[in-house]
Amino acid sequence: MDNKKIRQILNSVKSGKVNVKDALDSLKHLPYEDIGIATVDHHRELRHGIPEVIFAAGKEQKDIKVIAASMLEKSGKLLITKASKEVFKDVNALCKKHKVKAKYFEKSGVIMAGYAAEKKGMVAILCAGTSDIPVTEEAMATASFLGSRTEAVYDVGVAGLHRIFKAKKILKEANVLSVVAGMEGALPSVIGGMTDKPIIAVPTSVGYGTSLGGLTALFAMLNSCVPGIAVMNIDNGFGAGVLAHKINKLSA
Amino acid sequence: MDNKKIRQILNSVKSGKVNVKDALDSLKHLPYEDIGIATVDHHRELRHGIPEVIFAAGKEQKDIKVIAASMLEKSGKLLITKASKEVFKDVNALCKKHKVKAKYFEKSGVIMAGYAAEKKGMVAILCAGTSDIPVTEEAMATASFLGSRTEAVYDVGVAGLHRIFKAKKILKEANVLSVVAGMEGALPSVIGGMTDKPIIAVPTSVGYGTSLGGLTALFAMLNSCVPGIAVMNIDNGFGAGVLAHKINKLSA
Amino acid sequence: MDNKKIRQILNSVKSGKVNVKDALDSLKHLPYEDIGIATVDHHRELRHGIPEVIFAAGKEQKDIKVIAASMLEKSGKLLITKASKEVFKDVNALCKKHKVKAKYFEKSGVIMAGYAAEKKGMVAILCAGTSDIPVTEEAMATASFLGSRTEAVYDVGVAGLHRIFKAKKILKEANVLSVVAGMEGALPSVIGGMTDKPIIAVPTSVGYGTSLGGLTALFAMLNSCVPGIAVMNIDNGFGAGVLAHKINKLSA
Amino acid sequence: MDNKKIRQILNSVKSGKVNVKDALDSLKHLPYEDIGIATVDHHRELRHGIPEVIFAAGKEQKDIKVIAASMLEKSGKLLITKASKEVFKDVNALCKKHKVKAKYFEKSGVIMAGYAAEKKGMVAILCAGTSDIPVTEEAMATASFLGSRTEAVYDVGVAGLHRIFKAKKILKEANVLSVVAGMEGALPSVIGGMTDKPIIAVPTSVGYGTSLGGLTALFAMLNSCVPGIAVMNIDNGFGAGVLAHKINKLSA
Amino acid sequence: MDNKKIRQILNSVKSGKVNVKDALDSLKHLPYEDIGIATVDHHRELRHGIPEVIFAAGKEQKDIKVIAASMLEKSGKLLITKASKEVFKDVNALCKKHKVKAKYFEKSGVIMAGYAAEKKGMVAILCAGTSDIPVTEEAMATASFLGSRTEAVYDVGVAGLHRIFKAKKILKEANVLSVVAGMEGALPSVIGGMTDKPIIAVPTSVGYGTSLGGLTALFAMLNSCVPGIAVMNIDNGFGAGVLAHKINKLSA
Amino acid sequence: MDNKKIRQILNSVKSGKVNVKDALDSLKHLPYEDIGIATVDHHRELRHGIPEVIFAAGKEQKDIKVIAASMLEKSGKLLITKASKEVFKDVNALCKKHKVKAKYFEKSGVIMAGYAAEKKGMVAILCAGTSDIPVTEEAMATASFLGSRTEAVYDVGVAGLHRIFKAKKILKEANVLSVVAGMEGALPSVIGGMTDKPIIAVPTSVGYGTSLGGLTALFAMLNSCVPGIAVMNIDNGFGAGVLAHKINKLSA
Amino acid sequence: MDNKKIRQILNSVKSGKVNVKDALDSLKHLPYEDIGIATVDHHRELRHGIPEVIFAAGKEQKDIKVIAASMLEKSGKLLITKASKEVFKDVNALCKKHKVKAKYFEKSGVIMAGYAAEKKGMVAILCAGTSDIPVTEEAMATASFLGSRTEAVYDVGVAGLHRIFKAKKILKEANVLSVVAGMEGALPSVIGGMTDKPIIAVPTSVGYGTSLGGLTALFAMLNSCVPGIAVMNIDNGFGAGVLAHKINKLSA
Amino acid sequence: MDNKKIRQILNSVKSGKVNVKDALDSLKHLPYEDIGIATVDHHRELRHGIPEVIFAAGKEQKDIKVIAASMLEKSGKLLITKASKEVFKDVNALCKKHKVKAKYFEKSGVIMAGYAAEKKGMVAILCAGTSDIPVTEEAMATASFLGSRTEAVYDVGVAGLHRIFKAKKILKEANVLSVVAGMEGALPSVIGGMTDKPIIAVPTSVGYGTSLGGLTALFAMLNSCVPGIAVMNIDNGFGAGVLAHKINKLSA
């Protein structure tokens, strides 16, 4: 924002050189893009609701370290996804320096630090098979980092539905369910037939032959005969955690 | 459920022929599918959260009439999607007999009757272009029927973002946003950069050439660089309305 | 097969003009394709297990009439699929002339005549939704025509699984199950988790948006987490009926 | 299942505090999911017809060892697919401890132990080319493990059909045929024209250029002009073995 | 824009109640979206470079009439694409009232009115086959409407390249070439080998079998071995005309 | 080619005004595109080997009439594909005026006139099913028009291979085989296993479900396990006829 | 073929034990598959026109050695594709033992031995870019091995057509052209516009982005605006060589 | 061109042995391809506008060295893309010998040498995310090499639009914008709504799940609701640089 220009206008108003009507017109015709940029930037988390996150996959270890340091400096908070153990070692050392506790989730590669101690509401994450665990963990860690209480129910295959009954208490308490499944992606439909909670379906790239890298599960979920199931991108546990937290927050 | 069998067990307990432990075992080993069917059926809306809906498209008018009559009889409520004007005439007559007021949304073909007078919370539905209006209307009518207060903002194209600013009050009030867009499906990303509300993206089949019947918008939305946007099936305004209502309900 | 040629050789052997070794050579060097054609043709049903069938869709009414007449003449049996009411009128008249009773299934357009009175074994056909009925009917009519006893269970959606429990007796009696479903195609997986019978899954082209004309259901079924589910082409009720009958026959 | 609650009801019936009708009502309205879970779990193999199987691909060796040990403990039976030689060494040692004989199929990586000594009926598996052997072997080993007698016929290419004639005896004896083929996937159609047995087609990912990882063979098989051919997922020899066994069992 | 709020601030500055620094801060923190909307709106053509256009396809005739009237009122200019003859009659009458000359291109359905009399620079549009003419005409009409001089060269198939030589003068004069082709989409590559002008390739949906509605031509053009060929959406003559004009304008 | 210009140069050489070296330079620097165009045009058939053809589909009847007239005028020959009966009436009248005999093939819509009376060599066209007849007829008519002797063998399905044996004489005589098939597209492979003649496979769009408009047959043919089978576009009988004729010509 | 059985029948005829009619019936009902298998097998090359070939890719070196040895034993001829240098060393040693000269083509990995010294006719192979050379070489080596004279023209890109003019003599002499190209696959169309020879187009998997592993070139070639171009599978130089040889043979 | 032949004709004309008409005929029937080839070849850069470029990816280091040496020899200029550091070492040494300065761009692997010192006009390249930098760099380096002044604006995500405002001066100065983006590919639409400059959109293969290797971004860009955006192949920074330069040149 061109502070000088506005200051000039304001000074002219103050001194009486320019009347209010003309000053108003001047301000109105400043291209909107000139205004408030810095402000907007400062309010980034506010607008998005989500602090910046580092996707470690494909980034060099030294680069991750630099960004992580800058984020810890700025906000004392840190969420990294798809990080290797080596990255965690670096980041952990960094966190110790900042006196922030870091936590590493090995299967999904999530690192989090500076997360809210108090968790609110309840997000339940249902996981169809053992191969879906990394995505489930990413969703759970993300929602937890953002401040939601989370519970995961593992191994709820369509051919082993009785496991879901064991988790009845969790399902009743949850404000929102995230259902993670690969292969034929039928689990969200089946769960959707048993509950009135909002369901976020996450297809995984797990499968053989025509699983098509998760497209089969994705399309199956989009075509669920149970109305009102929303779908995330394939393997997008992070996105599911973000959305689940946003929904959970509403009732908290 | 085989009432006779359980009655027998209970009678045996009563008469002392069978002790409680053995009776418990007997009941426990009854295949679960024998129990509670009718109950379950009676509780259908409770479980799903959503009453039954008639998709009029592809159904014969006389069949719709019969189902609608039975639904009015049972619950006094009615939601029909993709209905023609002719279907509405029939259904309206039916509703008059049941002394229920019916409402018809011409662009989406939604008919609703017996809807809750009191609307709670707030669902905002953003519509990218004029061709996206039918899907927008279906989402809005559905959420409204289920009991949510709704507001639509029309013509919020990516190349005309200033319109969204005009609707600032609506966006602030809403608990959840549904964004309906065809073509390149960029609107949810742009809106997602401005708000921290949960966003439900609905791709529409609007477009030319490689819009691929909405697949282009669908995939673009799934790949949004803004985290936490959930996606519905192409043109699935009904599903978006259901989910938006479920989420809205949480904060109400 | 060139009977004359072989007869000549045989006569020459008989008369001593040709010795056995030379005759053997002659026969051996007759290209195998010259032998047995007529026989093979007569044994067509024997080899395939299935008599010829007329796919009425896309054929002209007069042509269907001619083929049907020739089939009735030859075998007294007739199976036509995707036939209109008009075609049935013609064929029915034809059947009356041949004193064979014809039956018409309106939803699938199947016409059958000269079918075996006695039905053996048991084929169960499960139908997910009302839009899947035509394909279900085609499967059922085909298996019945070929000599299997059939029972259909309608409206067994994934979100209404209790209906399947009502049909417990049918499922227990059946030698093979055919499960017909569109949309997300999850029903075969769910049924597969409850039974040890062979399952033939039939995807239908029912659905909206990304149902992709049945491809979504097809791929979901191929990727079932329940092992041993076989899949037919989209909407191929006829094929499912044929296979179900062949399997059913094994135990009869 | 909430034993306490039912026990209470039963005790009340016993003591006369609650009459049978009311007790029945109470039981009927217990959500069905509260009942019989353990039972169901104990009957898992009964319901599915197939014991649990370990897909070794993508699992860590130590994890496989743990699961295998638990399965041997529970049932004395073991089926593992896609296992490396190293995995077999571990599992073999384990089997020796349990005094169960383990067998390893190198091309498919199948390990089986505790399989039924007596094989019944007959499953024939036809293999189109040398690259289709691993999938063929997986199908054969699976059906054999489950208790079917199996025979494989190798190298039955469409351009070398005479090989099938050599195996005439096998084809006649078999109750069901599994046909494994890659490339253009034409073999099931050709075999289907020669037999009335149920055919399970298994496309393989073998091929170049537009074989599309087996999709070409898959679609060709789904579109066979011979009615009643069922198709498994690409490279799914295990599933084909399961289904072939289920069908074979019917006639045994 | 919330004029009142800014006026208040300005008045406070004028009256000395608020000093310049604080007023500056207040203005800076006004969300940028509150400012300048109307201005932006008035400058729409300036920003986009292109006035609004009516896509007539799928719109009702009466609606087109209303929008056209409003556009003529505002700017005296009008561009409509995919319009029927009936629409042209209506629009022509409208234009007569506004004393603007309207022109109708029958093959593409383009209507233009109020176009710049003076054309600048030169846009050449090459058309591969007779079926590509509608798209060619749309591109040509659009560029012409916006103020570019245009020349089309028809029937320049890959198998009839000599025609392009006849148009040598046109190619030399043009600042930019738009090449419209369906089927295998090879023409842009061939033209690209003969010129150093910017080339805009437009695939058309013309073709049979695997032309895939223009996808084959689209992908071929994207993969041209001649570097620097840009591609438009299938059949998007309008877009090609807009871009060609924008590029042409640069040298004019 | 600008004859005048070259004539000028030649005259100057003749008259001695220009010496040979300068004339040579002039000719050499004439952009090659200025030379020989007309010549080339006159030699069009010579270069391509195929006279121009009218694809009637999508063209207006009056336009076809004009082009046909011009072609008859120029060459006395005419080949039209996908023509309706109405078009044939017009063209037939035209041919009578030119005293050329016209022939109409109703199933494929081919019209030919002025075709070579003498047919050479032999092209065999094999047709898999009744729905493949139009494409077969188009291939046969085209090859015949160009001067090849043709024979078609109908109804050679993979499940009815014996029919091919009946046509043994035709197959032996043919120089090249064109095999037309839809559905799973297996026929070319099977025929390819029996002959050493060049095979041109033509997939048709015949089929249901996953025939994908002929793509399944196309890909199956491209992946044939028999080496050396070439594939045409879906339903491209005309192209197959052209190529078959070109190959046949080589041996004639 | 069961000689004994036929001999028995013949002897019975000779001795008068069986009359001709009954013998004829017996022979007629022998399944045709019992006859002539050995004969057929001996005539394999005759039927297919092509001796067996070893695709080395994916085969173990020791296995290749065994098969190669057996082929050299049987026919003294050998064609291997996609072979590594190591494989060639082994095979070369083998060939020396059989006193057959072996030749290795490094770019395509073709090994040939025992090839016909005399080459007939002429096959020209045009290669679009340097990345297309391996496929080109495979086609050339194959056709040469089978007995065709071959000439390759390299680097004939669409943007460098003048190179084709240099090879005019080759094109005139050739009986058939094979055109190998990746990227947009336009070369066959351009060459097709200049010649009346049969053209076999071979798409290669060369390219970036949307070349889709050669599918773009494949579809472009199938949609060529020049009639009568046949297409091979992606990268299938071997198949192109086989077909080119078969066609070339016709004129030789 | 066969100079001798034409000289002969000219001499014959001069000497009167051949008259002008016959000479004209002779010249006219010289295939046009005999003329002007060398000239054309010399003018290669002139025709294409772009000197030859070496795509290093997939080429052997020694081959690149040879081609680079030859190019330096001929033109003193060099552009290599996708080169490793090792390749750069070799090429740099080569350049030193030729006394040409070489420059290496590490992220994209571009090497350039002998580039024009003076840059004209202005090309702006906008980069959506950090993963899009290599493609951005390739576009920028290419345009710069060809003689355009370039400016890149990094990290202009749809969710961080304010960064674009900071680069306002660059956008205003630029003659053409290249927008590089992966994921949902929305950036070109948003930028397109703010400027009237020609926009070249470059999709990148950056993304997860259904980004489909860049196809999602590609299709989104093709379907932009802003008219006149042209699209390059996925990751084709080189092509974008070429086209941007060609357009920029027009105004320079």
Structure tokens at D210: 């537009």
Residue of E104, E60, E54 lying closest to E75 (CA atoms): E54
CB-based contacts of G239: which residues, under 8 Å, 6+ apart?
F227, F228, F229, G232, G233
User: How many helices and strands, by DSSP H and E, does chain G display?
Assistant: 12, 9
Q: What's the pLDDT score for residue F46?
A: 43
Work out the average pLDDT over B146-167: 80
Work out the average pLDDT over G183-193: 90
Share of chain E above pLDDT 70, in %: 84
Neighbours of D221 (CB within 10 A): 33
How does residue C35 score in pLDDT terms, banded at 50, 70 and 90?
A: very low
CB contact under 8 A, H223 and E233: yes
Whether C210 has its CB under 8 Å from any CB of chain B: the answer is yes
Q: Which amino acid is at H51?
A: P
Q: At what angle do helices E3-15 and E20-29 cross, to 10 degrees?
A: 170
Q: Is D57 exposed, middle or buried (0-12, 13-18, 19+ CB in 10 A)?
A: exposed
CB contact under 8 A, D7 and B14: no
Report helix, strand and coil shares of chain B as percent, to nearest 5.
Answer: 50, 15, 30
How does residue H217 score in pLDDT terms, banded at 50, 70 and 90?
A: very high
Contacts of E193 in chain G (CB under 8 A): 157-161
Contacts of E37 in chain A (CB under 8 A): 32
pLDDT above 70 (res E28): no
CB-based contacts of C105: which residues, under 8 Å, 6+ apart?
C111, C112, C137, C138, C141
β-pairing, D110-113 vs D120-127, is unpaired
Distance CA G5, CA H210 (A): 64
Q: What's the pLDDT score for residue B49?
A: 57
Structure tokens at B39: 């109950």
The overall longest dimension of chain F from CA atoms, in Å, is 80
Neighbouring chains of G at 3+ CB pairs under 8 Å are C, D, E, F, H
Q: How much is the pTM? A: 0.85
Distance CA C209, CA G93 (A): 61
The least confident of F16-30, F51-65, G179-193 is F16-30
Q: Where are the beta strands (DSSP E) in C41-169?
A: 54-55, 78-81, 102-105, 110-113, 120-127, 148-153
H/E stretch holding G251 reads helix G237-251
Q: H153 — phi, psi (to 5°)?
A: -120, 120
Cα dihedral across residues B112, B118, B120, B122: positive or negative: positive
For B189-211, write each residue's pLDDT tens digit. Answer: 988 887 889 999 999 998 777 88
Q: Which of A1, A12, A18, A24 to mutate to test the interface with E (most CBs of E within 10 A)?
A: A24
Q: F189 — phi, psi (to 5°)?
A: -60, -45
Q: What's the pLDDT score for residue A91?
A: 95
Q: What is the ipTM of this complex?
A: 0.81
β-pairing, H229-231 vs G199-203, is unpaired
> What's the Cα-to-Cα distance from F92 to each of A150, C154, G101, rounded to whole Å?
80, 58, 64
The three-state secondary structure class of C104 is: strand
Please state the separation of Cα E110 from the chain's center in Å.
12
Distance CA B252, CA C75 (A): 71
How does residue D57 score in pLDDT terms, banded at 50, 70 and 90?
A: confident
pLDDT above 80 (res H146): yes
Q: What's the pLDDT score for residue G15?
A: 86
pLDDT above 60 (res F47): no
pLDDT above 50 (res B181): yes
Q: What's the pLDDT score for residue B189?
A: 92
pLDDT above 90 (res E155): no
Residue of E246, E83, B157, E229 lying closest to H226 (CA atoms): B157
Distance CA H134, CA F4 (A): 56
Residue of C156, C134, C98, C137 lying closest to C214 (CA atoms): C134
How does residue D150 score in pLDDT terms, banded at 50, 70 and 90?
A: very high
Whether H129 has its CB under 8 Å from any CB of chain B: the answer is yes
Residue identified by tokens 């092209």 is F123
**Bigger pLDDT: H138 vs G7:** H138
Residue of G228, D156, E215, H216 lying closest to F215 (CA atoms): E215
Work out the average pLDDT over D146-157: 90
Q: What's the pLDDT score for residue E102?
A: 94
Q: What's the pLDDT score for residue G102?
A: 94
Please state the separation of Cα E123 from the chain's center in Å.
13
Q: What's the pLDDT score for residue F50?
A: 67
Chains C and D touch (3+ CB pairs under 8 A): yes
For B79-130, write each residue's pLDDT tens digit. Answer: 999 999 999 999 999 999 999 999 999 999 999 998 777 899 999 999 998 8
Q: What's the pLDDT score for residue A110?
A: 96
Work out the average pLDDT over F95-118: 90
H/E stretch holding E69 reads helix E61-75
Q: Which amino acid is at C167?
A: A
Q: Where are the beta strands (DSSP E) in chain H?
A: 54-55, 78-81, 102-105, 110-113, 120-127, 148-153, 176-181, 199-203, 229-231
Structure tokens at H240: 């974008």
Q: What's the pLDDT score for residue G32?
A: 38
Structure tokens at A80: 């990294």
For G26-64, write each residue's pLDDT tens digit. Answer: 665 444 333 322 223 333 454 455 677 888 887 888 888
For A88-136, write each residue's pLDDT tens digit. Answer: 999 999 999 999 999 999 999 999 998 777 899 999 999 998 889 999 9
Chains H and D touch (3+ CB pairs under 8 A): no
Instruction: Determine contact, residues F146/F114, Cβ cutoff 8 Å.
Output: no
Q: What is the mean pLDDT of chain F?
A: 84
Neighbouring chains of C at 3+ CB pairs under 8 Å are A, B, D, F, G
Residue identified by tokens 């691909």 is D57
**Residues 14-43, chain H: which have Cβ within 8 Å of F?**
14, 16, 20, 23-24, 27-33, 35-37, 39-40
Q: Is C200 exposed, middle or buried (0-12, 13-18, 19+ CB in 10 A)?
A: buried
Work out the average pLDDT over E41-66: 70
pLDDT above 80 (res B223): yes
Q: Is B204 exposed, middle or buried (0-12, 13-18, 19+ CB in 10 A)?
A: buried
CB contact under 8 A, D159 and G48: yes
Structure tokens at F232: 């045409």
CB contact under 8 A, F219 and D212: yes
Distance CA H183, CA A126 (A): 27
Q: Which residue of H has its CA nearest to E226?
A: H48
pLDDT above 60 (res G181): yes
Q: Which of G1, G32, G33, G231 to mutate to test the interface with D (most CBs of D within 10 A)?
A: G33
Q: Is A8 exposed, middle or buried (0-12, 13-18, 19+ CB in 10 A)?
A: middle
Work out the average pLDDT over D165-180: 86
For every residue of E182-217, DSSP letters joined together read -TT--HHHHHHTT--S-EEEEE-S--SGGGGGGHHH
Smallest CA–CA distance, residue C2 to chain G, in Å, is: 10
Residue of F10, E219, D193, B239 lying closest to G203 (CA atoms): E219
Distance CA G158, CA F38 (A): 23
Please state the separation of Cα H179 from the chain's center in Å.
15
pLDDT above 90 (res H188): yes
CB contact under 8 A, F234 and E210: yes
CB-based contacts of F225: which residues, under 8 Å, 6+ apart?
D128, D129, D157, D158, D159, D183, D184, D186, F189
Q: What's the pLDDT score for residue D50?
A: 67
How does residue C3 score in pLDDT terms, banded at 50, 70 and 90?
A: low
Distance CA E225, CA E218 (A): 14
Q: Which residues of chain A have pLDDT under 70?
A: 1-5, 25-50, 159-163, 165-166, 252
Neighbours of E37 (CB within 10 A): 17
Distance CA D68, CA G236 (A): 45
Smallest CA–CA distance, residue E197 to chain B, in Å, is: 26
pLDDT above 50 (res F31): no
pLDDT above 70 (res C45): no
Q: What's the pLDDT score for residue G28?
A: 53
Neighbouring chains of H at 3+ CB pairs under 8 Å are A, B, E, F, G
Whether E155 has its CB under 8 Å from any CB of chain G: the answer is no
pLDDT above 60 (res E77): yes
β-pairing, H199-203 vs A110-113, is unpaired
pLDDT above 60 (res H58): yes
Q: What's the pLDDT score for residue G87?
A: 95
Whether H209 has its CB under 8 Å from any CB of chain A: the answer is yes
How does residue B76 score in pLDDT terms, banded at 50, 70 and 90?
A: confident
CB contact under 8 A, A210 and D205: no
Distance CA F33, CA F51 (A): 23
Distance CA D199, CA G99 (A): 48
CB contact under 8 A, C236 and F209: yes
Q: Where are the beta strands (DSSP E) in chain E?
A: 54-55, 78-81, 102-105, 110-113, 120-127, 148-153, 176-181, 199-203, 229-231
> What's the Cα-to-Cα distance from F9 to each of B189, F26, F202, H2, H38, rounded to whole Å?
68, 8, 53, 18, 22
Contacts of A220 in chain C (CB under 8 A): 184-186, 216-217, 219-220
Residue of C238, C162, C249, C152 lying closest to C202 (CA atoms): C238
Contacts of G190 in chain E (CB under 8 A): 158, 161, 186, 190
**Bigger pLDDT: E35 vs F126:** F126
Work out the average pLDDT over C143-159: 89
**Nearest neighbour of H223 by CB, restricted to B160, B192, B216:** B216
Q: At what angle do helices F85-97 and F61-75 cross, to 10 degrees?
A: 30
> What's the Cα-to-Cα distance from E110 to each of A148, B210, E144, rounded to whole Å?
56, 22, 12
Whether A169 has its CB under 8 Å from any CB of chain D: the answer is no
Smallest CA–CA distance, residue C174 to chain A, in Å, is: 20
Give, rounded to a whole angstrom, the gap between the first and last alpha carbons of chain E: 38
**Bigger pLDDT: G245 vs C164:** G245
